[in-house]
């Protein structure tokens, strides 16, 4: 709370520059009130300068549940997001619908003059992401991608130490996202998740977080990708599934940096090397980014923690969004970060589908 009060206080000083009085609660709408939309709604309710005034979902039960959650703010409910966008009191919107809808909704929201917090991936095709990038740059509103790792304090401080040279020159990154379970085949998101034209693939829907982290630690974006993968275990399960369940990718970045990335969803519990990690190798040692641990090359010093663990505010990214609205500050996960992360995942996906080395420039998007 102390940190937030400070942010809002600091924001008030420059609020007039961005046209938002510091005492006005920012009228907020949430489009897509499922799993993530509910989490985001809870986050908005925690913000001292925001109100949930509009909610939209095509599923009545989800909408009712969210309306109950946000009852304090008495939101209007909508089944058509375009009607929500016509509400002039809505100044900011969260988009937490299935991934194939993000671009269309985000562009419409920006064109309606709303600040936009768009869940990751910002889009699932290169062409549509190109359109969103142009719309976000045309707009004078805040666009923030839902890459909330960018607002995590320990991660940021760890990466700052890598940028300051704790491991020397970054040479290679090894990262993975292995899990022991496939997404629930009968769960609430099964109606879109297992179709690549709706979710974009595991790679684009989930690994976009891990790949964004890799881009962040490397300090750039890949030049090319190559990989192999497929639906190895859960063939046509659930019926109609066309997304992969296991793959390996190699990315090449400028300055010869290489990334080896893997994801599979059938890693048995207890088998070593499961879960998620990001290991960054440099000329003086390596860092386990997730645990903020430094390991010197050839064991020249004892492994040490770079940044102590601290309790993170799970809604820090939401707080950051309002800070940007109030102050005009550039979001840590702006359109460039969000589009680059999604395009990195798409580059990998298309290289696997096409069984070829794919160049970044082949994506045809100006960033
Ligand atoms: N940042 C994160 O860590 C994180 C975590 C989970 C999900 N997500 C992202 O959030 C998004 C939603 O994921 P989820 O897990 O909440 O899925 P979900 O299936 O629980 O929720 C999606 C909701 O969108 C609604 N919807 C579908 N079409 C709509 C339309 N035309 N208009 C309004 N509402 C519509 C659905 O009815 C559903 O309630 C996805 O893009 C996902 O990738 C991000």
Do 92 and 179 share a domain, yes or no?
no
Residues 6+ apart with CB under 8 A from 115: 26, 91, 92, 93, 141, 142, 143, 321, 324, 325
Do 86 and 114 share a domain, yes or no?
yes
pTM of the model: 0.94
C-alpha 96 – ligand 1 centre gap (Å): 4
Q: Which atom of ligand 1 is nearest to the CA of 206?
A: 43
Do 23 and 140 share a domain, yes or no?
yes
C-alpha 6 – ligand 1 centre gap (Å): 32
**pLDDT tens digits, the chain, 367 residues: what are they?**
233 333 333 333 333 334 444 558 999 999 999 999 999 999 999 999 999 999 999 999 999 999 999 999 999 999 999 999 999 999 999 999 999 999 999 999 999 999 999 999 999 999 999 999 999 999 999 999 999 999 999 999 999 999 999 999 999 999 999 999 999 999 999 999 999 999 999 999 999 999 999 999 999 999 999 999 999 999 999 999 999 999 999 999 999 999 999 999 999 999 999 999 999 999 999 999 999 999 999 877 999 999 999 999 999 999 999 999 999 999 999 999 999 999 999 999 999 999 999 999 999 998 9
C-alpha 32 – ligand 1 centre gap (Å): 5
Do 163 and 291 share a domain, yes or no?
yes
Q: At CA 140, angle to CA 30 and CA 206, rounded to 5?
A: 45
Are the C-beta atoms of residues 337 and 146 closer than 8 Å to each other? no
What is the pLDDT, as a whole number, of residue 1?
29
What is the pLDDT, as a whole number, of residue 311?
94
C-alpha 278 – ligand 1 centre gap (Å): 26
Q: Which atom of ligand 1 is nearest to the CA of 147?
A: 1
Mutation test residue for ligand 1: of 40, 105, 119, 177, the one with most atoms within 8 Å of CB: 119
What is the pLDDT, as a whole number, of residue 79?
98
Q: Provide the domain limits for residue 280.
A: 153-308+343-363
Query: Residue 140 maps to which CATH number?
Result: 3.40.50.720
Total domains, the chain: 2
What is the pLDDT, as a whole number, of residue 22?
52
């Amino acid at each position: 709370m102390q940190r937030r009060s400070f942010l809002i206080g600091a924001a008030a000083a420059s609020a007039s520059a961005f046209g938002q009085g510091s005492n006005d609660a920012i009228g907020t709408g949430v489009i897509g009130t499922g799993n993530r939309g509910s989490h985001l709604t809870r986050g908005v309710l925690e913000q001292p300068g925001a109100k949930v005034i509009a909610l939209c979902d095509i599923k009545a039960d989800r909408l009712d549940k969210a309306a109950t959650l946000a009852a304090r703010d008495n939101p209007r409910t909508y089944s058509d997001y375009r009607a929500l966008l016509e509400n002039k009191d809505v100044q900011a919107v969260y988009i937490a619908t299935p991934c194939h809808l993000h671009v269309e909704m985000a562009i419409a929201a920006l064109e309606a003059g709303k600040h936009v917090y768009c869940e990751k991936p910002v889009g699932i095709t290169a062409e549509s992401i190109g359109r969103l990038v142009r719309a976000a740059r045309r707009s004078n509103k805040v666009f923030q991608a839902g890459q909330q790792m960018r607002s995590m304090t320990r991660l940021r401080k760890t990466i700052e130490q890598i940028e300051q040279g704790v491991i020397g020159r970054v040479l290679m990154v090894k990262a993975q996202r292995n899990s022991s379970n496939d997404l629930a085949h009968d769960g609430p998101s099964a109606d879109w998740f297992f179709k690549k034209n709706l979710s974009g693939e595991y790679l684009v829907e989930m690994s976009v977080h891990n790949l964004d982290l890799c881009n962040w630690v490397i300090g750039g974006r890949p030049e090319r990708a190559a990989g192999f993968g497929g639906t190895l275990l859960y063939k046509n399960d659930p019926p109609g599934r066309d997304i992969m369940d296991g793959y390996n990718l190699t990315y090449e970045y400028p300055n010869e940096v290489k990334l080896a990335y893997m994801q599979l969803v059938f890693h048995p519990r207890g088998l070593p090397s499961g879960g998620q990690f990001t290991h960054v190798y440099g000329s003086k040692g390596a860092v386990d980014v997730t645990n903020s641990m430094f390991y010197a090359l050839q064991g020249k010093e004892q492994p040490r923690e770079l940044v102590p663990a601290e309790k993170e505010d799970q809604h820090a990214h939401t707080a950051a969004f309002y800070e940007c609205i109030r102050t005009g500050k550039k979001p840590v996960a702006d359109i460039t970060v969000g589009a680059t992360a999604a395009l990195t995942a798409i580059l990998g996906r298309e290289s696997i589908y096409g069984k070829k080395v794919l160049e970044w420039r082949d994506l045809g998007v100006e960033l």
